[in-house]
């Protein structure tokens, strides 16, 4: 922690916005608000889980954080320093990387495993000789449980779990501090998911990594995360410690999500009441006024239609955006 000034968070995001202009015909465009004013921080060595339905903006947050998309507005800090200039962003990218969702489409089919993992080393000029490069590639493969004879093979020769291991080795090549894990196990078999999740935990301990872990599976998120943030339609609606979110969710959307998590005990499962949301998720192109969740919320009031609730701290480390917390809880 000493390397970070004043014990500041490793990553800090303030009021991040990512809008995409959608062509509506007749030379008109309309902004699609994929991420609309999101703020959070991630401490060194921590895993922040980001959860929500498909299309809520989780992946866009991760990609915008790494400047794969240029942010529409907002500030991103790394070790207390605002990322503004091209030089800042290039330096940040040497220490921040991403593991992509689909291990089938994120690897180049024309490159061998050694070249896929070695590509970041070549781009960032991290090795000084062919021998050093080869040793580093084999070391990275060892970190993720791949054998040296895999190096000369192509991605299509591997199973989904092995391909994701190749993707993780590539992400580790630059010796990063911070990794955005974008649903890294959702495309894998359940039996393989556990192995990959445990590997993420081991690598974090061994290499001192910090993760933003994006997923829609709440059991996976609970297993890997120190804190959990819940997103809905481009907004963050709740953020707290993992146990706190699971045991005392405050936002009606979080309550509904958690009520859908399967429980292995039949007695508890029967006693649990499933909170079913009515209506469809509105389009981000035509988001409701005020609170985006109000069209599906049983507690919605006139105030919810008029103004977006403030994302505020209601108890130590527990943030919620809701006008009617007293009614909900």
DSSP track, 128-141:
SSHHHHHHHHHHHH
pLDDT value at residue 269:
61
Residue 7 has pLDDT above 60, yes or no: no
Q: Average pLDDT for residues 150-178, to the nearest whole number?
A: 92
* Cα–Cα nearest to 163, from 96, 98, 116: 116
- How far separated are the first and last CA of the chain, in Å rounded? 37
Residue 273 has pLDDT above 80, yes or no: no
Residue 268 has pLDDT above 70, yes or no: no
Q: Average pLDDT for residues 243-255, to the nearest whole number?
A: 91
pLDDT value at residue 270:
67
Q: Average pLDDT for residues 186-204, to the nearest whole number?
A: 89
Residue 6 has pLDDT above 60, yes or no: no
Contact in structure between 312 and 320 (CB atoms under 8 Å):
yes
Phi, psi of 201 (to 5 degrees): -65, -45
Contact in structure between 81 and 88 (CB atoms under 8 Å):
yes
Residue 3 has pLDDT above 60, yes or no: no
Q: Strand pairing of 312-315 and 235-241? A: unpaired
Which strand (E) or helix (H) includes residue 67?
none
Question: The tokens 């009520």 sit on which residue?
Answer: 259
Q: Average pLDDT for residues 103-107, to the nearest whole number?
A: 87
pLDDT: which is higher, 183 or 272 = 183
Which strand (E) or helix (H) includes residue 21?
strand 11-25
190 vs 188: CA distance, rounded Å: 6
Phi-psi region of 134 (alpha: psi -120 to 50; beta: other; left: phi over 0): alpha
Q: Average pLDDT for residues 288-316, to the nearest whole number?
A: 90
pTM score over 0.85: yes
pLDDT value at residue 171:
94
DSSP track, 188-229:
S-HHHHHHHHHHHHHHHHHHT-EEEEEES-HHHHHHH-SEEE
Q: What is the pLDDT of residues 8-22, one digit of tens each?
A: 699 999 999 999 998
Task: Calculate helix-pair angle for 160-172, 190-207, nearest 10 degrees.
Answer: 20
Q: What is the pLDDT of residues 74-102, one digit of tens each?
A: 999 999 999 999 999 999 988 999 999 88
Phi, psi of 16 (to 5 degrees): -75, 130
Contact in structure between 169 and 196 (CB atoms under 8 Å):
no
Q: What percent of the chain has pLDDT over 90?
A: 61
All CATH 3.40.50.300 domain ranges of the chain, comma separated, are: 5-95+176-328
Domain spanning 5-95+176-328: CATH superfamily: P-loop containing nucleotide triphosphate hydrolases (3.40.50.300)
Contact in structure between 262 and 86 (CB atoms under 8 Å):
no
Q: What share of the chain is helix, strand, coil (3-state, %, to 5)?
A: 40, 25, 40
Q: What is the pLDDT of residues 220-246, one digit of tens each?
A: 888 899 999 999 999 999 999 999 999
* 115: Cβ contacts below 8 Å, ≥ 6 apart: none
Q: Average pLDDT for residues 304-312, to the nearest whole number?
A: 91
Residue 161 has pLDDT above 60, yes or no: yes
Q: What is the pLDDT of residues 19-55, one digit of tens each?
A: 999 888 888 888 899 999 999 999 999 999 999 888 8
Q: What's the whole-number average pLDDT of the chain?
A: 89
45-78 core/surface letters (b: 16 or more CB in 10 A; e: else): ebbbbbbbeeebbbbbbbbbbbbebebbebebbb
Q: Average pLDDT for residues 175-203, to the nearest whole number?
A: 91
73 vs 18: CA distance, rounded Å: 7
Residue 267 has pLDDT above 80, yes or no: no
Q: What is the pLDDT of residues 208-218, one digit of tens each?
A: 999 999 998 88
Q: Average pLDDT for residues 311-321, to the nearest whole number?
A: 93
Residue 2 has pLDDT above 50, yes or no: no
Phi, psi of 293 (to 5 degrees): -90, -5
Q: Average pLDDT for residues 250-271, to the nearest whole number?
A: 78
Residue 72 has pLDDT above 90, yes or no: yes
pLDDT value at residue 50:
96
pLDDT value at residue 252:
92
Residue 4 has pLDDT above 50, yes or no: no
Residue 266 has pLDDT above 90, yes or no: no
């Amino acid at each position: 922690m000493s390397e970070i000034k004043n014990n500041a968070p490793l990553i800090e995001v303030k009021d991040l916005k990512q809008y995409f202009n959608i062509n509506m015909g007749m030379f008109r465009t309309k902004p699609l608000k994929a991420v609309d004013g999101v703020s959070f921080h991630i401490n060194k060595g921590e895993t922040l889980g980001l959860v929500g339905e498909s299309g809520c903006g989780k992946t866009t947050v991760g990609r915008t954080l790494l400047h794969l998309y240029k942010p529409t507005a907002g500030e991103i800090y790394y070790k207390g320093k605002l990322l503004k200039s091209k030089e800042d962003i290039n330096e940040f990218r040497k220490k921040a990387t991403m593991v992509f969702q689909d291990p089938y489409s994120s690897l180049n089919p024309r490159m061998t495993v050694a070249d896929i993992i070695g590509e970041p080393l070549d781009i960032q000029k991290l090795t000084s000789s062919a021998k050093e490069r080869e040793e580093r590639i084999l070391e990275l493969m060892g970190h993720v449980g791949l054998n040296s004879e895999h190096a000369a093979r192509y991605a299509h020769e591997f199973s989904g779990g092995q391909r994701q291991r190749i993707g993780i080795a590539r992400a580790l090549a630059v010796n990063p501090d911070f990794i955005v894990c974008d649903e890294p196990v959702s495309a894998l078999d359940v039996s393989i998911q556990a192995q990959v999740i445990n590997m993420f935990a081991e690598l974090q301990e061994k290499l001192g990594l910090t993760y933003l872990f994006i997923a829609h599976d709440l059991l996976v998120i609970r297993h890997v995360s120190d804190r959990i943030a819940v997103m809905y339609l481009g907004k963050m609606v709740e953020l707290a410690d993992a146990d706190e979110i699971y045991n005392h969710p405050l936002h009606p959307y979080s309550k509904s999500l958690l009520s859908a998590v399967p429980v292995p005990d039949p007695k508890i499962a029967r006693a649990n009441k499933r909170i079913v949301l009515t209506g469809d998720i509105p389009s981000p192109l035509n988001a409701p006024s005020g609170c985006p969740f109000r069209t599906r919320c049983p507690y919605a009031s006139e105030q919810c239609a008029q103004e977006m609730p403030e994302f505020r701290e209601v108890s130590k480390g527990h943030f919620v955006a809701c006008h009617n917390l007293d009614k909900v809880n």
